[in-house]
């Protein structure tokens, strides 16, 4: 019997790896699979994937309109609740994919425009850092472990988008980096690598991969010395310009505006491009909005200094609006 399978995700500009694997599994079993683009069809099975803790305008309707005989929902977004402005992860609400689906090669044809010549996946899962603002350690465990070889999600594509939370903490990191080197594909290190784990040997190995873009993270002020040291070591071996090496700057968590501007300024001084990440958007200040607009727009960041940036059409510059924050921390 051929079942009609529907797939729906909150990811618009990024493919859902879970749904690509579910699609591959059902197609292997001879089922018809499609992404849901309206609320009018009926499916035998409907899978709902929610990655982020954001409202999904379509998904709630599907629970009230009998469009499927069976519903399955999954993803981190369904397992997060907000208490006193903080994200609380409920592991019991976040069921992993069955092993026979988790280990299958993704069906990239589900997102033809987003995956043309690009492979997406994880080589490792888990992170030992257990940062209070991040759910990875709670979701995937406090140990960074190898979960796949590269050929489980890559078959010759020109680019690899690596989604690992902390590949440098994995004991098999050298082997995994060597797999990326051997692929000769461009690698986009999409997540913030832990700069504290970068030494000369690791920096040299990373730089042997064909780096498209690499991201590090500067989340907490207490780790400043180790992070800046790691960034300096990496820069000794990476010859491309600052547009290709970026640093996520966590804000609106436990830092002051002065500390946020200080971290942005420091990574720029080291030749990296800062990218502001705002924790719990909607609770942040206008200063962080303006800082993020400047850092996260490459054209603006490279065409004008932050102090001389005019965030609105009232003629007021950053140095006039926030003079009290633009001080040496």
Residue 62 or 42, more confident: 42
Give the start-to-end residue ranges of the domains of the chain.
1-110
Q: Where are the beta strands (DSSP E) in the chain?
A: 4-9, 32-35, 43-49, 68-74, 80-83, 86-89, 118-121, 124-125, 145-146, 159-162, 186-193, 210-218, 245-251, 273-278
The model's pLDDT over 11-27, given as tens digits with 9 standing for 90+, comes to 888 999 999 999 999 99
CA 141 – CA 272 distance, rounded (Å) = 30
Is the confidence at residue 230, as pLDDT, over 60?
Answer: yes
Residue whose structure tokens are 């709630």: 60
Residue the block writes with tokens 């990875």 = 136
pLDDT at 65: 44
Quickly state the pLDDT bin for 61 (edges 50, 70, 90).
very low
pLDDT at 93: 86
Q: How far is CA 302 from CA 100, 199, 242, 305, 325, in A?
A: 47, 29, 10, 8, 21
Query: What is the structure's pLDDT at 60?
Result: 45
CATH top-level class of 1-110: alpha beta
pLDDT in tens, 268-315: 999 999 999 999 888 899 999 999 999 999 999 999 999 999 999 999
Higher pLDDT, residue 151 or 12: 151
**pLDDT bucket at 57, cuts 50 / 70 / 90:** very low
């Amino acid at each position: 019997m051929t079942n009609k399978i529907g797939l729906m995700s909150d990811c618009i500009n990024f493919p859902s790896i879970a749904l690509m694997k579910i699609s591959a599994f059902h197609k292997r079993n001879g089922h018809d699979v499609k992404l849901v683009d309206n609320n009018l069809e009926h499916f035998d099975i409907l899978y709902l994937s929610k990655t982020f803790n954001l409202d999904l305008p379509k998904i709630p309707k599907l629970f009230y309109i009998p469009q499927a005989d069976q519903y399955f929902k999954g993803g981190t977004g369904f397992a997060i609740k907000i208490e006193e402005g903080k994200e609380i992860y409920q592991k019991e609400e976040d069921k992993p994919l069955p092993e026979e689906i988790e280990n299958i090669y993704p069906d990239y044809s589900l997102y033809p425009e987003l995956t043309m010549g690009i492979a997406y996946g994880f080589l490792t899962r888990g992170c030992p850092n257990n940062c209070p603002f991040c759910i990875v350690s709670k979701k995937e465990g406090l140990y960074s472990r190898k979960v796949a070889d590269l050929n489980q999600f890559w078959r010759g594509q020109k680019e690899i988008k690596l989604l690992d939370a902390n590949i440098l903490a994995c004991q098999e990191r050298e082997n995994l980096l060597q797999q990326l080197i051997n692929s000769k594909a461009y690698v986009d290190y999409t997540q913030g690598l832990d700069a504290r784990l970068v030494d000369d040997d690791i920096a040299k190995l990373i730089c042997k991969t064909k780096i498209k873009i690499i991201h590090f993270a500067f989340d907490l002020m207490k780790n400043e010395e180790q992070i800046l040291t790691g960034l300096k070591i990496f820069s000794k071996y990476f010859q491309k310009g600052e547009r290709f090496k970026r640093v996520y700057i966590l804000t609106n968590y436990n830092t002051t505006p002065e500390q946020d501007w200080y971290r942005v300024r420091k990574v720029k001084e080291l030749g990296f491009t800062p990218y502001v990440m705002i924790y719990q958007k909607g609770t942040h200040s206008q200063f962080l909005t303006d800082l993020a607009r400047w850092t996260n727009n490459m054209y603006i960041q490279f065409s004008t200094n932050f102090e001389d940036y005019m965030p609105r059409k009232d003629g007021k510059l950053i140095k006039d609006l926030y003079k009290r924050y633009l001080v040496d921390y």
